[in-house]
Chain A
């Protein structure tokens, strides 16, 4: 190959690689990105049943129930406007408790949210990213009610 042709081939190969990366990423992101919904979004029918998503909100007071097997829990997530029941099998993360924020990964099935993971909250100052605004709105709403 002549050096000039060689450079042409190399440049086109590089451009081709960029194109392939972008196309693959677009294809992958189209149905593998998990959208974040609040119970209000779920109530409005935004969440497609069976599709991976994240659900975020406050764990409603008095809603946590344990199944007899001891490792499955049910609770209700609320954003003040709507409520979504959640089922989760596993050890709940540190500081998961009623009245605090939580984000769950999983999917909607027959009106319930089946969680695969409940995102850990590393310390009490930490808020899951998506909950940042929600928690603030929630607090603001409560203050207004008072």
Chain B
């Protein structure tokens, strides 16, 4: 019954979405009652999808094996939290989550958004309904999460052990909230293009959504990177895997949008530009979803053999993106450009930021899709990996990081401040950093060295917007910007340190044997068998010391039975100046064990930087919301007027 209730809720929500879209045409003829009905429908639609998602969680929590999805992805012996998290650790469940977030976001727009013009909001709600409708169709026709199995099998097939990790419980939902949060920016942009009301009011209405989505994407990418780092046992933090790129591309677009939206909000300029970015940002979310969910990455051929889902998603992608681009082409040219600005100004700085981010986005996009194109056309197989992305996108990212230090110092419209003079101290600090790296580490590569220099420059220049004024009277949004930009410097320093100073040791060790890695002396003390709820393992006990004190690390190799799989569980010890990362491998015929040890100085800065960037976003969000509350009464009045 539970599964049927979920399915029924989904069908109802789909029907309401269709109705909501049709009502848009009536409401655009400025009928207040119809507008109110549209808002109510959007809210009910959100509630219904939420109900459907809750039903899915319930069947997973109860291990109801008569539901095909539960059978294929769960097992009654699994820890409870992974049973629940398993609900979105698969294709159908994650698509349901996607749609749920989309519909709930629409409900929030309907109930709270009153800052755009009424007509834009109506058109935006219509666009959101069309988006939801397509994905409801996809769920109901091509990936029904509630399909039953008869007779019910005794137990399930289990969940990929790599995914049985707390990281899984939070990582996909965070990313999806970010992906789909951008759908609101897309819908509002489409709405505004339809009505022609592209102004600073629209930008202010879009900004919390873009900011919120961007914060969650930042957190999701950072958490995903750390998850890959400790769970895969390869010691890397970013692999340029297509799935990773699928989350990076919307982030790059959202970052560009976040910056250009400020120009639109503050100066009314860059209208067409910002609308374009809003369309691209959500398009990238859909491209990411398509890449991950269509199976095309497994193989173009697999895609051709079982084309239903992939083709469906591709068709949705083509329709939505194509329609939005056509709308942009028709209406974008009629938008009047807002306030003019000089060549050297805050606006220009943000344009340059946008251009570089767009170029990086293009490079990642082309590199990710190139193997698919080549295979589809010539049948030849190839892979594009770190050598391409690092060499092509890396230097551009460094240039961008330098400009991040300079841009916020420029003033709106026309430069009046002696910016070069302000930058003397950061330049001096960068030069010192260069000298220090040359003296202390003469042999490191050019990119890591530049990474240190740029990080030092950015860290110093990034805090200048708070210097020479009372920092406690600066707006919270300015604090947010400074914290986020400082976070870039921190992450950059971590990446450079990891690239330049990591020491690695791979060896066979017998019990009692000692190995050197970096400043550490690691002794293999013992290897013992151990077991968990649904796995058995061998566990090595390592005693690590440098100078005084001994740290005990216990890396494992785990064997799972449902499905039969092995994983390496790295043991990681964190210190203020780096991480000791240890992996135990197979036993050797001579009685030794394979050990892989890394000493990674300051590697934690990478994720600390990511967290700081997200924190900066959160501060800016708080600042905006607080301001909104202070202005609350006037807003409410405006709202009443529009309903009168």
Contact across chains for A32 and B387 when beta carbons are under 8 A apart: yes
Whether, in the assembled complex, A82 has its beta carbon less than 8 Å from a beta carbon of chain B, the answer is no
Whether, in the assembled complex, B391 has its beta carbon less than 8 Å from a beta carbon of chain A, the answer is yes
Q: How far is the CB of A135 from chain B (nearest CB, A)?
A: 11
Docked complex Cα distance between A25 and B162 (Å) = 33
Q: Mark A75-98, 1 if CB is under 8 A from B, else 0.
A: 000000000000001111011000
Contact across chains for B383 and A34 when beta carbons are under 8 A apart: yes
Whether, in the assembled complex, A43 has its beta carbon less than 8 Å from a beta carbon of chain B, the answer is no
Contact A1 to B336, CB < 8 A, known contacts A17-B359, A36-B381, A70-B507: no
Contact across chains for A33 and B563 when beta carbons are under 8 A apart: no
Contact A21 to B588, CB < 8 A, known contacts A54-B383, A90-B596, A132-B298: no
Contact across chains for B391 and A28 when beta carbons are under 8 A apart: yes
Specify which of B336, B361, B380, B565 lies most central, judged by the most chain A CB atoms within 10 Å of its CB. Answer: B565
Whether, in the assembled complex, B536 has its beta carbon less than 8 Å from a beta carbon of chain A, the answer is no
Whether, in the assembled complex, B592 has its beta carbon less than 8 Å from a beta carbon of chain A, the answer is yes
Whether, in the assembled complex, A109 has its beta carbon less than 8 Å from a beta carbon of chain B, the answer is no
The B284-303 residues at the A interface (CB cut-off 8 A) are 297-299, 301-302
Contact across chains for A10 and B359 when beta carbons are under 8 A apart: no
Contact across chains for A124 and B565 when beta carbons are under 8 A apart: yes
List residues of chain B with CB within 8 A of the CB of A120. 232, 234
Nearest residue (CB) in B for A11 is B272
List residues of chain A with CB within 8 A of the CB of B299. 129-130, 132-133
Contact across chains for B232 and A28 when beta carbons are under 8 A apart: no
Whether, in the assembled complex, A66 has its beta carbon less than 8 Å from a beta carbon of chain B, the answer is yes
List residues of chain B with CB within 8 A of the CB of A139. none
Docked complex Cα distance between A42 and B340 (Å) = 60
Q: How far is the CB of B194 from chain A (nearest CB, A)?
A: 21
The interface size of chain A toward B, counting residues with CB under 8 Å, comes to 47
Contact across chains for B367 and A124 when beta carbons are under 8 A apart: no
Docked complex Cα distance between A1 and B340 (Å) = 6
Contact across chains for A1 and B583 when beta carbons are under 8 A apart: no
Contact A25 to B366, CB < 8 A, known contacts A33-B384, A94-B567: yes
Docked complex Cα distance between A132 and B297 (Å) = 12
The dominant DSSP class at the A interface is mixed
- Contacting residue for B381 out of A10, A35, A122, CB 8 A: A35
- Contacting residue for B392 out of A6, A24, A69, A91, CB 8 A: A24
The B338-371 residues at the A interface (CB cut-off 8 A) are 338, 340-343, 351, 355, 358-363, 366-367, 370-371
List residues of chain B with CB within 8 A of the CB of A95. 565-566
Contact across chains for A7 and B383 when beta carbons are under 8 A apart: no
Contact across chains for A22 and B506 when beta carbons are under 8 A apart: no
Contact across chains for B596 and A66 when beta carbons are under 8 A apart: no
Contact across chains for A89 and B506 when beta carbons are under 8 A apart: yes
Whether, in the assembled complex, A145 has its beta carbon less than 8 Å from a beta carbon of chain B, the answer is no
Q: How large is the interface on B (under 10, 10 to 19, 20 to 34, 35 or more residues)?
A: 35 or more
List residues of chain B with CB within 8 A of the CB of A33. 370-371, 374, 382-384, 388
Whether, in the assembled complex, A146 has its beta carbon less than 8 Å from a beta carbon of chain B, the answer is no
Contact across chains for A123 and B565 when beta carbons are under 8 A apart: yes
Nearest residue (CB) in A for B374 is A33
Contact A91 to B586, CB < 8 A, known contacts A10-B351, A124-B563: yes
Whether, in the assembled complex, B590 has its beta carbon less than 8 Å from a beta carbon of chain A, the answer is yes
Contact A129 to B355, CB < 8 A, known contacts A24-B392, A29-B388: no
Q: Mark B127-143, 1 if CB is under 8 A from A, else 0.
A: 00000000000000000
Nearest residue (CB) in B for A13 is B355
List residues of chain B with CB within 8 A of the CB of A29. 366-367, 370, 384, 388
Docked complex Cα distance between A20 and B363 (Å) = 9
Whether, in the assembled complex, B585 has its beta carbon less than 8 Å from a beta carbon of chain A, the answer is yes
Whether, in the assembled complex, A48 has its beta carbon less than 8 Å from a beta carbon of chain B, the answer is no
List residues of chain A with CB within 8 A of the CB of B311. none
Docked complex Cα distance between A41 and B337 (Å) = 57
Contact A130 to B381, CB < 8 A, known contacts A24-B359, A28-B388: yes
Docked complex Cα distance between A29 and B592 (Å) = 43
Docked complex Cα distance between A133 and B298 (Å) = 11
Contact across chains for B384 and A32 when beta carbons are under 8 A apart: yes
- Contacting residue for A52 out of B273, B363, B387, CB 8 A: B387
Whether, in the assembled complex, B604 has its beta carbon less than 8 Å from a beta carbon of chain A, the answer is no
Contact across chains for B363 and A28 when beta carbons are under 8 A apart: yes
Docked complex Cα distance between A13 and B347 (Å) = 14
List residues of chain A with CB within 8 A of the CB of B403. none
Contact across chains for B392 and A25 when beta carbons are under 8 A apart: yes
Docked complex Cα distance between A22 and B365 (Å) = 10
Docked complex Cα distance between A129 and B372 (Å) = 11
The B548-600 residues at the A interface (CB cut-off 8 A) are 563-568, 583, 585-586, 588-590, 592, 594, 596
Docked complex Cα distance between A90 and B589 (Å) = 16
List residues of chain B with CB within 8 A of the CB of A18. 358, 362
9 CB contacts below 8 A, A to B, read A4-B337, A6-B341, A14-B276, A22-B366, A29-B384, A33-B374, A70-B592, A90-B596, A120-B232
List the 3 shortest-distance A-B pairs measured between CB atoms, nearest first.
Answer: A21-B362, A70-B508, A36-B381
Known: A25-B367, A105-B385. 12 other contacts (CB 8 A): A6-B340, A18-B362, A24-B363, A32-B392, A36-B381, A36-B382, A36-B383, A54-B381, A91-B594, A94-B566, A124-B564, A130-B381
